Amino acid sequence: MSSLAPGSVALITGGTGGFGRALATKLREREVTAVLADLDSERNRAVAEELGCPFVVLDVTDRAANEAVVAQVEAEHGRLDAAYLNAGISAEKSDGDLDLDEFLRVVDIDLFGVVYGAVAAAPAIRRAGGGAIVVTASLAGLSPMAGDPGYSVAKGGAIAFVRSMAPRLAADGTTITAICPGFADTAIIDRIREHFTAANFPVLSAAEVADAMVMAWESGEPGAAYVVQPGVGTIPYRFKGVPSAKTAAGETAVVPEALRPPGMR
């Protein structure tokens, strides 16, 4: 099933967090089975149970575990139509010397967790006849945050990954897209929420972001990065072109055919 339809099966990593819960609720309303994958804890299992969603244990930094979870979803639910690669953390330390251990941990979860998840999910989605991979990136991937270089690198990398993978996945009937929300009211902003409140700075609700995540599955364009901002809604980000190479004669050089993705040859 290449589009969102009743009876579809979706996997959501970081599924018991703020965006995961809001998305699971919306998918359940559409009669989609939403399998919530998250770190193992009593709290996470209880959240899934309350939502009426199956729970699977997954640390997204574990390559083999990503493959095993996809196999489990196919075995238990018969198919996988969409993968929401949404698990993520941000750094706790925002100034002073860069904490390299923390930097690597954020990149491991927020970037490599996405890469492992996409590689594991793509063949299963192809077997289901095509579908969607939706990566929760961030506005920080388009506008880097001075307070969190690891997060900025990971989210920028996730957007580049989505854009570079889009043509080969589209050839299989799978649309990969990125969601780039501004600050939203979930646990990830607990440490800084008071500053937004004090400054009367608008933050998104998790439900607004979940609407964008649903849209990305239903009608997203391959390789698109959707900005979600309070008072603005969801809009595809328009990337600036880069300067093309010029030939000795001053003409715009075209990339050799063999190096272009399928569909652009």
Q: Minimum Å distance from CB 247 to ligand NAD?
A: 42
- The 233-236 sheet, strands edge to edge: 55-57, 33-38, 9-13, 82-85, 131-136, 174-181, 225-229, 233-236
Q: Minimum Å distance from CB 56 to ligand NAD?
A: 10
Active-site positions?
151
**Residues of the shown chain interacting with ligand NAD in the complex, contacts defined by CB under 6 A:** 13-14, 16-20, 38-39, 58-61, 86-89, 109-110, 136, 138, 181, 183-184, 186-189
Q: Minimum Å distance from CB 246 to ligand NAD?
A: 39
Q: Which one, 23 or 169, has the nearer CB to ligand NAD?
A: 23
Q: Minimum Å distance from CB 58 to ligand NAD?
A: 5
Q: Which one, 52 or 129, has the nearer CB to ligand NAD?
A: 52
Q: How far apart are CA 141 and CA 152, in angstroms?
A: 5
Q: Which one, 38 or 81, has the nearer CB to ligand NAD?
A: 38
Q: Which one, 19 or 161, has the nearer CB to ligand NAD?
A: 19
Q: What is the DSSP string of the chain?
A: --S--TT-EEEEETTTSHHHHHHHHHHHHTT-EEEEEE---HHHHHHHHHHT--EEE--TT-HHHHHHHHHHHHHHHS---EEEE------S--SSS--HHHHHHHHIIIIIHHHHHHHHHHHHHHHTT-EEEEEE--GGGTS--TT-HHHHHHHHHHHHHHHHHHHHHHTTTEEEEEEEE-SBSSGGGTTTHHHHHHHT---B-HHHHHHHHHHHHHHPPTT-EEEEETTTEEEE--PPPPPPPB-TTSPBPPPPGGGSPTT--
Q: Which one, 122 or 139, has the nearer CB to ligand NAD?
A: 139
Q: Minimum Å distance from CB 39 to ligand NAD?
A: 5
